[in-house]
Amino acid sequence: MATSITFTCGVCDSQHFTKDAEHWCPECDEGLCPNCLIFHNSSKFSRDHGVISMENYKRLPQYITSIRQHCPDHDRKNQNYCPSHAVPCCPFCISTSHSECKGLQVLEEVVKTSELSSHFEDMKQTLKDVENNIKRIKIDREGNLKSIQEQRNKFQSEIKQVRQQINSHLDKLERQALENIKATEDKVKHQVETLLSKLSRSSREGKDLENIISAMTDYASDLQRFLGKKQIESEVAKSERYINSLVEDGSLQQVSLNCSIDSNVSGILSSISSFCTISTELSNPNILLMKEKEKQAQIMTVQPPAQTSIHDTKIQLIQTFTLPKGRNPTYIIGCTINQSGKMVFADYSDNQRLIILNADGSVDGEIQLPDSFDVTSIDNRSVAIIQREKIQVIDLSSNRIKKTIKLNNRVKSGISYGQHTLFYCEPGKNIHMLKPTDGSHQNSIDINNEAKGTNYVAFHQNNLYLTNETNHTVTCYKVSGEKVWEFRDETVICSPRAVSCDKYSNVYVASRGNNSIVVISPDGTQSRTLISQTMVFAIDVDKERNILIAAVFASNTVNIYKID
């Protein structure tokens, strides 16, 4: 994809000399020979230009190198950017082509504040996701081929066992059956091999795009990277759509061979017209496509898991971890576990800290944060903490605050994340929804003073589950605001705190008032005490691995349970 054209020195050309350029100045939009480069680097007006070698310049694709600093229509330097048309413009363009456009911006400022590195990292991550999913799909498809071969061998054996019990009349039918099996296998094999070939081609294209991004990151100017990223984004999105389309068009469905031996073969030989029936059977994919992007690790499945009764639910203690001691007693009142297994705990005591554990229970770190009431996972790299008057987003890779969202009122509430939205409750008023990237208010649910007191909230499959410590209730709302059900039975749940859901939509509640953890059925009509005689404020459920974590209050103990 690199440019192979020979460039001459622009300065020499203006003096009617012809010399090959060995360097390129993106600011001046021209090549430079070694002698002119010396003067260029010495000049007050050009010494700060980001000159690159011609070899590196040629590594950039043509649609990047064609981006120019000056307007092609007016030969004036582009100084502004029109967000409506997504193009740079010079002063003359503003008065002619963009006179009615609103929100014109200074081009230099747009380039500086556009977070190009983040955009390119996201695109590179998407390409890595595509490549990883290609590898997973290839392994899955090759495994399916192997299972088809094993099934073929199995059915061949069955066919031959039946044949041994009958006479030569079945020789012809046996040959037909074997040929039918092989033909069916060849058809499936051809389909899978065609898909594998397409995946290999997509993989190569993804690597080419990744090389372009690396070249743009290292050698293209900020303007070139800014204006060129849209075309790269289009190609990256195309690769991602192709991988996702494999789920939608059925390409990843499991293929199985079916062979039904006629039960009448051994009894009535003369009436048999075929040896067996060969067909293929499609079932749900075994493979899970993984995405690291969009600030949430998502697993894309074809169908929701089958519902199970809470009375069949079993819970088993599988591990116990110990949190590091602080200078004061530890009061964990909020916790979260992400898909990588990393756990974060909010210590509301005078220790004023967040505690981060790795999946094996080892301590990853501590962050000093006062009034940390609850915590929720955004993705494998970040969590959101709710404090009295603000929400803070923490980068787990650096253990640093990367965003602070100020709240309009003092709150004492749990927090949850889903569908790119943060949810928290303003007691007695509303459940609020915020966008974590910029803190903008998305929507609110009026709860009509039903939630006075301390509240925790959990989001799951377009529903919100709200606990109320004062009223001893657990209430389910649709995200639209409609109240679905309310559970109230103080003999079962008293002064509820944290709430979480598993993949079957069963609702788990930390019942502080009677020292237990209770599960409520998805429709809110049934309940069952799973764990008793344990004071727990903070719980969370890892939906994919069916793991429940529970931090014992006023201690340093964290219990890990397996839900079956």
Q: What is the bridge-based pairing of β-strands 557-563 and 315-322?
A: antiparallel
Q: How many residues does the chain have?
A: 564
Collect contacts of 249-252 with beta carbons under 8 A, ≥24 apart. Answer: 250/282, 251/195, 252/137, 252/140, 252/285, 252/287
Distance of alpha carbon 294 from alpha carbon 183, whole angstroms = 44
Higher local confidence (pLDDT), 390 or 247: 390
CATH topology of domain 310-563: Neuraminidase (2.120.10)
Residue 6 pLDDT > 60: yes
User: How high does pLDDT run on average in the chain?
Assistant: 86
Best CA proximity match to 342, nearest among 547, 508, 132: 547
Helix (H) or strand (E) holding 186: helix 171-219
At 281, is the pLDDT very low, low, confident or very high (cuts 50, 70, 90)?
A: low
CATH class of 1-59: few secondary structures
Distance of alpha carbon 16 from alpha carbon 324, whole angstroms = 75
Residue range 62-74: mean pLDDT, rounded: 82
* Strand locations in 117-212 (E): none
What token pair was written down for 102? 């609103």
Helix (H) or strand (E) holding 337: strand 332-337
Instruction: State the residue for tokens 């397409």.
Output: 198
Q: What is the bridge-based pairing of β-strands 80-82 and 87-89?
A: antiparallel
* Cβ-based burial of 459 (10 A; exposed 0-12, middle 13-18, buried ≥19): buried
Residue 110 pLDDT > 80: yes
Residue 25 pLDDT > 80: yes
Residue 556 pLDDT > 80: yes
Distance of alpha carbon 530 from alpha carbon 548, whole angstroms = 11
Residue range 47-58: mean pLDDT, rounded: 88
Do residues 311 and 528 touch, judged by C-beta distance below 8 A?
yes
Q: Give per-residue pLDDT as tens, 184-224.
A: 889 989 988 998 998 999 899 889 888 988 888 888 888 88
* Strand locations in 90-157 (E): 105-106
Distance of alpha carbon 256 from alpha carbon 249, whole angstroms = 18
Residue 318 pLDDT > 90: yes
Residue 285 pLDDT > 70: no
Q: Give per-residue pLDDT as tens, 342-370.
A: 999 999 999 999 999 999 999 999 999 99
Residue range 298-317: mean pLDDT, rounded: 65
Residue 168 pLDDT > 90: no
Query: For residue 334, what pLDDT is reported?
Result: 97
Q: Give per-residue pLDDT as tens, 111-149.
A: 877 777 677 888 888 888 888 888 888 888 888 898 888
Residue 303 pLDDT > 60: no
Query: For residue 229, what pLDDT is reported?
Result: 85
Residue 1 pLDDT > 90: no
What token pair was written down for 431? 């459940």
CATH 4.10.640 residue ranges for the chain: 1-59
Half-sphere exposure of 91 (CA within 13 A, CB side): 2
Integer distance in angstroms from the first to the last C-alpha of the chain? 53
Q: Is 330 helix (H, G, I), strand (E, B) or coil?
A: coil
CATH 2.120.10.30 residue ranges for the chain: 310-563
Helix (H) or strand (E) holding 403: strand 400-406
Higher local confidence (pLDDT), 225 or 165: 225
Distance of alpha carbon 179 from alpha carbon 365, whole angstroms = 63
